[in-house]
């Protein structure tokens, strides 16, 4: 049985808005009803998503930047469906969280990278593909900005920097840092340099144990296809384009292997 923690108090606050939401009328982030707004400053805004469910049994935590609008809408629809069916708050939150977690083309890249660096061996499984199936009890997926952040109504992509902007700092500390404390038996795998920077900031503040942060993994998106191909040995160094820094990638990969070996 998977042990879980939910922030049901926050969820209950938004249940009336979730029940009354007409998701088909919300076609972009600018149309998200004001009832879901958590914070706003200038052109930055943060909005509640029912991603409160935390798998406290997890041994690996995969950390992205922030959910995007598509994830927000899909999670809201699932939470709505669960509530209408009479599900408990925990069940509604668990199912909303499961919708779309690193799905699509991104997942094969993520699995290949995790296996390449040996996380499957550390976990005692044949491949990290099973983390999204029979071994889902071993993994927790989240974002350092757990609730979606938008810049002028567009998905946040790391600018402005998370650790320099007061609104973003507060979102990290109020939500992700508290979540991280409940994951005391897990290691954290930040996806990409922006997330690694945020985790390093939390380590300096004493919010997260630095020995449990496995930085160095590139983001598994298609935009990083060449970097991923190089790390996985599918593309030789001499064939890389000028935009890919092999020395930097090698150093990050070596550091990551050392951390995993020390677990």
Measured distance CA(200)–CA(195) in Å, rounded: 9
With a pLDDT cut of 90, the percent of the chain lying above it is 84
Task: Please give the pLDDT value at position 217.
Answer: 87
Confidence of residue 9 (pLDDT cuts 50, 70, 90): confident
Mean pLDDT of 6-35: 90
Task: Please give the pLDDT value at position 4.
Answer: 43
Instruction: Tell me the pLDDT tens digit for each residue of 84-136.
Output: 999 999 999 999 988 766 666 788 999 999 999 999 999 999 999 999 889 99
Write out the DSSP string of 127-145: -GGGGGTTTGGGEEEEESS
Task: Please give the pLDDT value at position 222.
Answer: 86
Measured distance CA(209)–CA(89) in Å, rounded: 31
Specify the 3-state DSSP secondary structure of 99: coil
- pLDDT of residue 5 exceeding 70, the answer is no
Supply the DSSP symbol for 239. Answer: G
Specify the 3-state DSSP secondary structure of 54: strand
Task: Please give the pLDDT value at position 100.
Answer: 64
> How many domains, in total, are found in the chain?
1
Residue 106 inside a domain? The answer is yes
Q: Which domain holds residue 230?
A: 7-20+35-261
Residue 104 inside a domain? The answer is yes
- Is residue 147 within 8 A of residue 75, CB to CB? The reply is no
Residue 28 inside a domain? The answer is no
The verdict on whether omega for the bond into residue 160 sits within 30 degrees of 0, i.e. cis, is: yes
pLDDT, mean over the chain: 92
Mean pLDDT of 172-184: 94
Indicate the burial class of 227 (C-beta count within 10 angstroms; 0-12, 13-18, 19 or more): buried
Outline where DSSP puts E strands in 56-127.
60-64
Task: Please give the pLDDT value at position 8.
Answer: 62
Instruction: Tell me the pLDDT tens digit for each residue of 196-245.
Output: 999 999 999 999 999 999 999 888 988 899 999 999 999 999 999 999 99
Measured distance CA(68)–CA(35) in Å, rounded: 18
Q: Which pairs count as long-range contacts for 154-157, CB under 8 Å and 24+ apart, including other chains?
A: 154/29, 155/29, 155/66, 155/68, 155/69, 156/44, 156/65, 156/66, 157/65
Write out the DSSP string of 11-42: HHHHHHHHHH--GGG--SGGGS-GGGEEEEET
- pLDDT of residue 6 exceeding 90, the answer is no
Residue 222 inside a domain? The answer is yes
- Is residue 82 within 8 A of residue 91, CB to CB? The reply is yes
Bridge partners of residue 24, in order along the sequence: none
Residue 181 inside a domain? The answer is yes
Supply the DSSP symbol for 208. Answer: S
Residue 220 inside a domain? The answer is yes
Measured distance CA(155)–CA(148) in Å, rounded: 8
Residue 214 inside a domain? The answer is yes
- pLDDT of residue 143 exceeding 80, the answer is yes
Residue 1 inside a domain? The answer is no
* Helices vs strands, H then E, count in the chain: 10, 9
pTM: 0.91
5: tokens are 């923690």
- pLDDT of residue 44 exceeding 60, the answer is yes
CB-side neighbour CA atoms (13 Å) of 125: 21
Task: Please give the pLDDT value at position 224.
Answer: 92
- Other CB atoms closer than 10 Å to residue 246's CB: what's the count? 14
What CATH number is given to the structural domain containing 175? 3.40.470
CA torsion sign for 63, 52, 263, 110 is negative
Listed residue (113, 146, 143) closest to 127, CA to CA = 113
């Amino acid at each position: 049985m998977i042990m879980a923690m939910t922030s049901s108090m926050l969820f209950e606050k938004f249940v009336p808005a979730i029940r009354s939401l007409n998701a088909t009328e919300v076609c972009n982030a600018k149309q998200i009803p004001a009832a879901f707004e958590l914070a706003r400053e200038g052109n930055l805004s943060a909005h509640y998503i029912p991603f409160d469910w935390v798998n406290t049994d997890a041994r690996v935590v995969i950390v992205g930047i922030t959910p995007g609008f598509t994830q927000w809408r899909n999670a809201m629809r699932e939470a709505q469906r669960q509530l209408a069916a009479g599900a408990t708050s925990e069940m509604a939150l668990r199912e909303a969280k499961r919708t779309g977690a690193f799905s699509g083309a991104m997942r094969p890249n993520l699995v290949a990278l995790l296996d390449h660096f040996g996380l499957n061996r550390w976990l005692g499984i044949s491949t990290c593909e099973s983390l999204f199936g029979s071994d889902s009890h071993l993994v927790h997926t989240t974002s350092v900005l757990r609730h979606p952040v938008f810049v002028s109504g567009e998905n946040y992509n790391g600018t402005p920097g998370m650790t320099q902007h007061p609104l973003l700092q507060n979102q990290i500390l109020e939500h992700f840092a508290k979540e991280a404390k409940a994951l005391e038996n897990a290691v954290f795998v930040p996806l990409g340099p922006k997330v690694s920077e945020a985790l390093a900031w939390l380590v300096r503040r004493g919010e997260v144990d630095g020995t449990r942060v496995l930085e160095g993994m590139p983001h598994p998106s298609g935009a990083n296809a060449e970097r991923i191909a190089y790390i996985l040995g599918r593309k030789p160094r001499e064939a890389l384009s000028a935009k890919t820094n092999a020395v930097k990638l090698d150093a990050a990969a070596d550091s990551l292997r050392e951390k995993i070996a020390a677990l």
